Amino acid sequence: MLSKNQQKNIRQLSRKKHRQESGLFVAEGEKLVHELLNSGWKADQIYSTEPLQQTPYTLVHLSEMKKISHLSSPSPILGVFHLPHYDSSAVNHQEFSLVLDNIADPGNLGTIIRLCDWFGIKNIFCSSNSVDCFNPKVVQSTMGSIARVRCHYVDLHTLIEDCDAKVFAATLDGSSHYKESFPSQGLLVMGSESHGISEALLEKIDHRITIPSFGGRGGAESLNVATATAILLGEIFRP
C-alpha cells in the first residue's frame, strides 16, 4: 500500500518545480512506460494494477492508482522516471532541428515532439518560457516519442546568432514555403500559439516563410502551431 506521503510526492510531479527538485517525472500507460524502459531510461519506480513480466514493479489497487494518476481515467501502469540530462553543446548541427519560442500548450508540444520523431528530427530547442517537455500532459501526448527526441531549453538569441546554417522563421508575412528550397541542415523557428515569434528574435532571422491560405476572406486567420509545424516539416523533408 502506498503511503500518503508517496501519493503526495507522485502527484506533485505535475509541477515543474517539484520535477526539478526531485529529478523525476511521470509517464503513464503500458506503451509509453515500456517505450521508455526499452530505450534505457532509468525508472525510479513502476506501479501497476496488473502483474508484469520481466519488469520490477509495485502492485497497487485501482483505488490507489486513481490517487496518483495525472489522468482523468487512470492507466493500469504508471512509471516514475529519472529526468535525463542533455548536453545542448554536443548537438550535431549538420542536420535540421526545430526551434520553439514560447510554446505554452502541453498538447501542442507533445504533438510537435511526435512530428519530429516521425521526420527524424532528434533535437528541439525551446525558449525558457515554453512548457516543460516533462509536464505529464506533454509526456502523455508524445506517445513514446519523448524517448527519441531531445528538448533543450536554451537562450534562443544565442543559438541563432551562433548558427552557421540557414534559419527559417514561420510567420504570416513571409514568402510561400512552396517556393523555398530547403537545405539538408538548418533551423526552423515556430512561435507561440497566440503571438508567434517574438519581435526581438524575429529581427535575427532573415528567411521568413509562410503557409499560404487558399480560404479567401472570412477564412481562418491562422493555423494551430502543431498543424503548421507538420505542414512545414512535410515540405522540408519532401524528396
Tell which of 82, 101, 124 closes a domain.
Answer: 82
b/e 224-235 (16+ beta carbons within 10 angstroms → b): ebbebbbebbee
The CATH code of the domain that includes 67 is: 3.30.1330.30
Contact 208, 169 (CB under 8 A): yes
Tell which of 60, 82, 104 closes a domain.
Answer: 82
Where in the sequence is the domain holding 133, given as residue range(s)?
Answer: 89-236
Same domain, 114 and 190: yes
Domain count, the chain: 2
What angle, 0 to 180 degrees and rounded to 10, lies between the N-to-C axes of helices 106-119 and 225-236?
10
56: three-class secondary structure by DSSP? coil
Same domain, 155 and 170: yes
Same domain, 59 and 138: no
Q: Determine the Cα–Cα distance for residues 108 and 11; give it in Å rounded to an integer.
A: 23
The CATH code of the domain that includes 212 is: 3.40.1280.10
- pLDDT tens digit sequence for 31-76: 999 999 999 999 999 999 999 988 999 999 999 999 999 999 999 9
- pLDDT tens digit sequence for 141-190: 999 999 999 999 999 999 999 999 999 999 999 999 999 999 989 999 99
Q: Say what the pLDDT of residue 219 is.
A: 64
Same domain, 216 and 100: yes
Three cell numbers written together for 140: 502523455
Same domain, 161 and 72: no
The one-letter amino acid code at 106 reads P
Q: Determine the Cα–Cα distance for residues 197 and 199; give it in Å rounded to an integer.
A: 6
Same domain, 104 and 217: yes
